[in-house]
């Protein structure tokens, strides 16, 4: 019997993480599986055959997408041809909706089974996409509890599999040493403020200088930036050259969060990762003004951070666009550091997150995929 063949596509750092864990589970359950994928270094480390690296795929914001439209259209054309040559038994799409939903529609028209792991955030905006998803996606796996109820309103049954970050953080905690990490990066005895500026060039250059300006006079803590391997040390050095109280560590975000006292975080998956470590945080978002104004008119949710969306209230402070200033970041950081009741209330609510999410996502999705292809 011929080996089963899967084609997996993601275009972001978080998708690379979840894709790698899914591949690990898939290979554990079927070592003869053939996998071809678009992803990053984590997925590449699991085996399979990498077609495109996420470094080539990081476009965000309405204007940024328009400026790179020719490149994106070229990638879509290339992807379709590559899938046709590979002849997969199924396509597995991980988030990255602007690209993946176009591929899903095309694949469905070619008779290829489409599975979607980690739903596009259509509950926030572009809810009309649900009709396309119902038509072209064979099975949707969702990782946020309220997503199952959202899809139910449209008579589309989905599988809630829990959140894959739960398992990733548990694996990390079972094998890491705080003291070893501290020694590796030569930290002093002061507590740590973790800065997570994101993984894309646009968001790092736009927000990291503001974050560092906010923290430059807080001498009671040392500032450590979570760097990503997409960019080298010189890239970060250019941005932080005027900040004497900051250093960068690469690909050690969980090590950093594991010892942090507080965090300043770009909105996205990193806010949930930080929260699951029980770290009080300030959420920052600042995009191009045109992209923000468009999104403001389209988005249908009250919060931008997953923490607040899941909890249904503002557990952590969100500083959006013009509110994302050095002054406001500094004020919130000082409040968390100096108001013990306020800090304790945040931590207490963060500790409830894990129970709401549940774990085992990668294993559940792998089992389902292998049963359905």
Instruction: For 290-337, give the DSSP string.
Output: HHHHHHHHH---S-SSHHHHHHTS--SEEEEGGG--HHHHHHHHHHHH
Mean pLDDT of 247-268: 94
pLDDT greater than 80 at residue 291: no
Q: What is the share, in percent, of the chain residues with pLDDT greater than 70?
A: 90
Q: H or E element: which one contains 113?
A: strand 113-117
Tokens describing residue 101: 């939903």
pTM for the complete prediction?
Answer: 0.80
pLDDT greater than 90 at residue 229: no
pLDDT greater than 70 at residue 58: no
Write the pLDDT tens digit of every residue in 166-187: 999 988 988 866 666 776 778 8
Mean pLDDT of 240-254: 86
274 Cβ contact list (under 8 Å, min separation 6): 194, 196, 257, 260, 263, 265, 281
Write the pLDDT tens digit of every residue in 292-320: 555 554 455 578 888 999 998 999 999 99
Confirm if 272 and 165 have CB atoms less than 8 A apart: yes
* Average pLDDT, rounded, for the chain: 89
| Cα–Cα distance, 149 to 156 (Å, whole number) | 10
The confidence score (pLDDT) of residue 288 equals 61
Mean pLDDT of 285-291: 68
Secondary structure of the chain: what % helix, strand, coil (to 5)? Answer: 50, 15, 30
User: Half-sphere exposure of 20 toward its Cβ, with a 13 Å CA cutoff?
Assistant: 17
pLDDT greater than 50 at residue 62: no
DSSP 183: H
Burial of 137 (0-12, 13-18, 19+ CB in 10 A): buried
Q: Which residues pair with 247 in a beta bridge?
A: 224
Mean pLDDT of 252-274: 94
| Cα–Cα distance, 156 to 134 (Å, whole number) | 6
The confidence score (pLDDT) of residue 128 equals 82
Which of 193, 192, 225 shows the shortest CA–CA distance to 208? Answer: 225
The confidence score (pLDDT) of residue 39 equals 93
Domains and CATH numbers, the chain: 5-163+358-372 (3.40.50.2000), 169-356 (3.40.50.2000)
Write the pLDDT tens digit of every residue in 74-123: 889 999 999 999 999 999 999 988 889 999 999 999 999 999 999 988 87
Which of 272, 357, 362, 368 shows the shortest CA–CA distance to 21? Answer: 362
Q: How confident is the model at residue 1 (pLDDT cuts 50, 70, 90)?
A: very low
């Amino acid at each position: 019997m011929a080996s089963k063949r899967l084609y997996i596509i993601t275009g972001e750092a978080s998708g690379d993480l979840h894709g790698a864990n899914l591949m690990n589970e898939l290979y554990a359950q079927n070592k003869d599986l053939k996998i071809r994928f678009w992803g990053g270094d984590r997925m590449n480390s699991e085996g399979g055959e990498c077609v495109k690296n996420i470094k080539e795929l990081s476009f965000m914001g309405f204007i940024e997408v328009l400026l790179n439209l020719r490149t994106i259209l070229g990638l879509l054309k290339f992807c379709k041809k590559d899938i046709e040559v590979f002849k997969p038994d199924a396509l597995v799409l991980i988030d990255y909706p602007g690209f993946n939903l176009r591929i899903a529609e095309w694949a469905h028209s070619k008779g290829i089974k489409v599975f979607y792991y980690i739903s596009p955030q259509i509950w926030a905006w572009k809810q009309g996409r649900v009709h396309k998803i119902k038509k072209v996606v064979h099975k949707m796996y969702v990782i946020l509890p309220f997503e199952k109820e959202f899809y139910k309103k449209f008579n589309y049954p989905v599988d809630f599999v829990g959140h894959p970050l739960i398992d990733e953080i548990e694996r990390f905690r079972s094998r890491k040493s705080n003291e070893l990490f501290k020694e590796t990066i030569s930290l002093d005895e002061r507590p740590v403020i973790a800065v997570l500026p994101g993984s894309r060039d646009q968001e790092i250059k736009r927000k990291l200088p503001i974050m560092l300006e906010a923290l430059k006079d807080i001498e009671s803590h040392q500032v450590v930036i979570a760097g990503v391997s997409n960019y080298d040390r010189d890239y970060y050095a250019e941005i932080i050259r005027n900040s004497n109280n900051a250093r960068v560590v690469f690909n050690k975000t969980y090590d950093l969060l594991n010892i942090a006292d507080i965090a300043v975080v770009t909105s996205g998956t990193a806010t949930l990762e930080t929260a699951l470590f029980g770290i009080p945080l300030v959420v920052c978002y600042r995009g191009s003004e045109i992209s923000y104004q468009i999104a403001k008119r389209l988005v249908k949710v009250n919060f931008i951070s997953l923490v607040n969306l899941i909890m249904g209230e503002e557990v952590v402070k969100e500083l959006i666009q013009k509110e994302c200033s050095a002054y406001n970041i500094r004020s919130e950081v000082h409040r968390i550091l100096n108001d013990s009741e306020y800090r304790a209330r945040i931590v207490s609510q963060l500790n409830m997150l894990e129970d709401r999410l549940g774990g085992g996502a990668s294993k559940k999705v792998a089992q389902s995929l292998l049963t359905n292809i």
